[in-house]
Structure 1
Amino acid sequence: MPRISAVDVVDVRFPVTVAEPGGMSCAVYVVLHTDTALSGHGLSFPTRAEAAACVDAARYIAGLLVGLDVDGLAGSLGHTYRRLVGDNRSGADADVGRYGATAVLNAVWDLMARFARKPLWRLLSEMAPTDLVAACDFRDQSGVLAEHDAVEMLEWLAPTRQERIRHLARVGYPAYTTAPARLGLSDNELRRWCRDAVTDGWHSIKVEVGRSFDRNKRRLAMARDELGPDGTLLLEANGVWEVPEAIAHLSELAQFGPLRVERPTRPEDIAGHATIRTAVAPVAVTAGEQCRDALAVKRMLDAGALDYLQVDACRSLSVNEIVPVLLIAARSGVAVSYRGGGAGLCGPVQHLAMLDFICISGSLIGRLIEHVDVSQQHFSNPPIVQPAWYRLPAGPGYGARMRTESLVTYRYPDGTYWAGAGSRGR
Structure 2
Amino acid sequence: MYIQSVEVLDKRFKMGEGAGSDATHTNPQYSYAVCVLKTNTSIEGIGLAFTLGAGNDLVCKAIHYLSVKLKGVEIEALMADFGTAYRQLADEPSLRWLGPHKGVVHLALAAIVNACYDLWAKSRRVPLWKLLLDLSPEELVNTLDLSYLEDELTRAQAIDLLKGELAGRSRRSEVLTTGYRGYDTSVGWFNFSDELIVEKTKQALDKGFTAFKLKVGSDDPLRDLRRAALIRQTAGDAATIMLDANQKWNVPRALDICQRLGSINPYWIEEPTHPDDVFGHRAIARAIAPFKVATGEHIPNKVIFKNFLQAKAMDFCQVDAVRVGGVSEFLTISLLSKKLGIPVVPHVGDMGQIHQHLVLFNHIGMGHENLFLEYIPHLRPYFVHPATIVDGFYQVPQEIGSSSDLKI
Give the TM-score, by structure 1 length.
0.89
Q: Which amino acid aligns with 1:193?
A: K
> How far apart are the structure 1 equivalents of 2:54 and 2:381?
25
CA drift at 1:49: 4.4
CA drift at 1:299: 1.2
Task: Answer yes or no: is the 8 Å Cα contact 1:261–1:284 preserved in 2.
Answer: yes
| Aligned ranges 1:5-20 → 2 under 5 Å | 5-19=4-18
CA drift at 1:12: 0.9
Task: Answer yes or no: is the 8 Å Cα contact 1:310–1:336 preserved in 2.
Answer: yes
| Aligned ranges 1:23-172 → 2 under 5 Å | 23-91=28-96, 93=100, 94-165=102-173, 167-172=174-179
Matched, 1:359 2:365: yes
> How far apart are the structure 1 equivalents of 2:324 and 2:376?
20
Matched, 1:217 2:221: no
Please name the residue that 1:198 is paired with: 205
Q: Deviations over 1:97-123 (max 9, x none)?
A: 111111011000000000011111111
Partner SS, residue 264 of structure 1: coil
Q: Which amino acid aligns with 2:384?
A: S
Q: Which amino acid aligns with 2:7?
A: D
| Aligned ranges 1:233-382 → 2 under 5 Å | 233-340=241-348, 342=349, 344-364=350-370, 367-382=371-386
| Aligned ranges 1:172-183 → 2 under 5 Å | 172-183=179-190
> How far apart are the structure 1 equivalents of 2:37 and 2:318?
29
Partner SS, residue 84 of structure 2: helix
Task: Answer yes or no: is the 8 Å Cα contact 1:135–1:320 preserved in 2.
Answer: yes
> How far apart are the structure 2 equivalents of 1:74 and 1:244?
47
Identity %: 28
CA drift at 1:304: 2.2
CA drift at 1:23: 4.3
CA drift at 1:276: 1.0
Structure 2 unaligned blocks of 5 or more: none
Q: Which of residues 234, 246, 256 in structure 2 aligns to 1:226?
A: 234
Q: Which amino acid aligns with 1:262?
A: E
> How far apart are the structure 2 equivalents of 1:16 and 1:265?
26
> How far apart are the structure 2 equivalents of 1:73 and 1:308?
33
- The structure-2 alpha-carbon separation of the partners of 1:3 and 1:10, relative to structure 1 and needing over 3 Å to count, comes to same
Partner SS, residue 272 of structure 1: helix
Task: Answer yes or no: is the 8 Å Cα contact 1:41–1:110 preserved in 2.
Answer: yes
> How far apart are the structure 2 equivalents of 1:281 and 1:77?
40
Partner SS, residue 109 of structure 2: helix
Task: Answer yes or no: is the 8 Å Cα contact 2:344–2:368 preserved in 1.
Answer: no
Q: Which of residues 384, 391, 394 in structure 2 aligns to 1:390?
A: 394
> How far apart are the structure 1 equivalents of 2:84 and 2:40?
23
Q: Which amino acid aligns with 1:175?
A: G
Q: Which amino acid aligns with 1:185?
A: F
Structure 1 unaligned blocks of 5 or more: 405-426
Task: Answer yes or no: is the 8 Å Cα contact 1:348–1:400 preserved in 2.
Answer: yes
Give the TM-score, by structure 2 length.
0.93
> How far apart are the structure 2 equivalents of 1:223 and 1:119?
36
> How far apart are the structure 2 equivalents of 1:338 and 1:293?
14
> How far apart are the structure 1 equivalents of 2:296 and 2:75?
34
Q: Which amino acid aligns with 2:135?
A: M
Please identify runs of 4+ aligned residues in structure 1 that moved more than 6 A: none
